[in-house]
Structure 1
Amino acid sequence: MSSPPPLPERVSAVATLDDPVRRSLYELVSQSPVPLGRDAAASTLGLSRSTTAFHLDRLAEVGLLAVEFRRLSGKTGPGAGRPAKLYSRADGEICISVPARQYDLAGELMAAAISESGQSGEPVLDTLARVAAHAGRAIGAASADLSSALTANGFEPRAEDDGGIVLGNCPFHRLAETHTAVVCSLNYQLLCGIADGAGDAAHTIVADPDAGECCVRAVPVPQIPQ
């Protein structure tokens, strides 16, 4: 499970739709059952081809549209003409929440746990703990260190004077309010996995409901006198 794109990139993509022409083109392409070319889009919305091309390419540049090239005539070989540039809605999702939330990650972990539990017979909460820890290790391994992994995933780590880390945000806040025990356990196992995957030997992940805005904190490992 990969981390979401940086917030500035996601904000820029969504802000692109603030332009009414781009928004109309995005809606037109999204509603089309087949990839749409520039000429068809321009004709439908009564725009010039150059204006249409500019805005479609901008939407593709920020990841909202996918692009492919295909000859619409169906002909091949010499004389068949140049392939047309066609647009369709991109498969990816762009989500923004302020403060950062990771409800999609929680959903993926819970769905995976339910699926695996149904196949193995292992209790679903035990499966969820294992799945969350595994996902955390993958996140940590893909990060430079524990702090950068926590930052990229919306935990807002804050260094304490004693070398510990308190978290300024819970990416699962709304879920944790209504399903506290399940979500806090998921969160704890995820963060243990992140620390393990990042190779962090300087901290121990502990459950602490009174720490910052998250139920987990990283405390420094005591130094053994030489």
Structure 2
Amino acid sequence: MSDPKEARDPDVSAIAALDEPTRRRLYDHVVRQPAPVSRDEAATALGLARQTAAFHLDRLADQSLLDVVYERRTGRTGPGAGRPAKLYQRSAKQIAVSLPDRRYELAGRLLAQAIEESTATGTPVQQALHRTAEELGTQLGEPQGADLAGLLEQYGYEPRREQAGAIALHNCPFHALARDHTPTVCTMNLHLLRGILHGLGERDYQARLSPTPGHCCVRLEPPT
């Protein structure tokens, strides 16, 4: 199984790529345009050498910050129409990096699904939230080759094994939400982690609420 930290490196590299001033100017220019931009157009607009513009545009494309498309600008088709121009446009990929790792989109999806289920079926929202969280956790733990520590790292929990055999989670992926809506978010998190343990077939640990300052509200402890 690949290192889950490596799985997040592309996002970090993509954000770092924008730290170069010329590259950032090119990115900002391209994403503001209503249509894809050619190398020549970008170079002219920003007063750059074509070779410089091409180099940075390709770097942005390599980092999935821009998408590359090919179009014939002449309007001609068939033999003699020439090669399609290489054009750049805003990438459809969403890139986000937060330190410490946060998963607010995941929480938002779970909460939205719970509200929709409650509206459609009359199930209490909290009950629907617990079910959807545990169901998602089970799905996350099911892929063949997944391991507990790796999965927890991948989703930002920063697990640390303790001498007593428990696993403390040093980061809460839902920190701001858990701070302001503690009962709702912490029990959602509890059921999500229970689902992960179930999906992995993990019998050496149980997820339990154990609020501790500076840690996730859930701990993984050996069964009693």
1:18 alignment partner, SS class: coil
2:117 corresponds in structure 1 to 116
Q: Distance in 1 between matches of 2:106 and 2:69?
A: 30
Following superposition, the deviation at residue 24 of structure 1 comes to 0.8
1:86 corresponds in structure 2 to 87
1:199 corresponds in structure 2 to 201
Stretches of structure 1 that go unaligned for 5 or more consecutive residues are none
Q: Distance in 1 between matches of 2:179 and 2:214?
A: 15
TM-score normalized with structure 2 length: 0.91
1:221 to 201, 220, 223: 223
- Write out per-residue CA displacement over residues 54-74 of structure 1, whole angstroms, 9 at most, x where no aligned residue: 101101111111111222223
1:179 to 178, 181, 184: 181
Equivalent residue letter for 2:42: A
State, as a whole percentage, how many aligned pairs show the same letter: 49
1:14 corresponds in structure 2 to 15
1:67 alignment partner, SS class: strand
Equivalent residue letter for 1:25: L
Q: Distance in 2 between matches of 1:56 and 1:123?
A: 51
Q: Distance in 1 between matches of 2:76 and 2:5?
A: 41
Following superposition, the deviation at residue 186 of structure 1 comes to 1.0
Counterparts of residues 1-226 of structure 1 (less than 5 Å): 6-142=7-143, 144-210=146-212, 213-221=215-223
Query: How many residues are paired up?
Result: 220
Q: Distance in 2 between matches of 1:92 and 1:56?
A: 16
Q: Distance in 1 between matches of 2:181 and 2:5?
A: 24
Q: Over aligned residues, Cα RMSD in angstroms?
A: 1.9
- Whether the aligned pair in 2 keeps the contact of 1:166 and 1:212 (CA below 8 Å) is no
Q: Distance in 2 between matches of 1:98 and 1:206?
A: 25
Alpha carbons of structure 1 residues 151 and 4: separation in structure 2 relative to 1, 3 Å: closer
Q: Distance in 1 between matches of 2:54 and 2:110?
A: 40
Equivalent residue letter for 1:189: H
TM-score normalized with structure 1 length: 0.90
- Whether the aligned pair in 2 keeps the contact of 1:145 and 1:199 (CA below 8 Å) is no
Q: Distance in 1 between matches of 2:115 and 2:6?
A: 27
Q: Distance in 1 between matches of 2:121 and 2:81?
A: 56
Following superposition, the deviation at residue 26 of structure 1 comes to 0.6
- 108-117 or 76-85: bigger deviation: 108-117
- Whether the aligned pair in 2 keeps the contact of 1:145 and 1:200 (CA below 8 Å) is no
Q: Distance in 1 between matches of 2:123 and 2:79?
A: 62
Q: Distance in 1 between matches of 2:8 and 2:91?
A: 19
Q: Distance in 1 between matches of 2:184 and 2:119?
A: 18
Following superposition, the deviation at residue 9 of structure 1 comes to 2.5
- Whether the aligned pair in 1 keeps the contact of 2:30 and 2:88 (CA below 8 Å) is yes
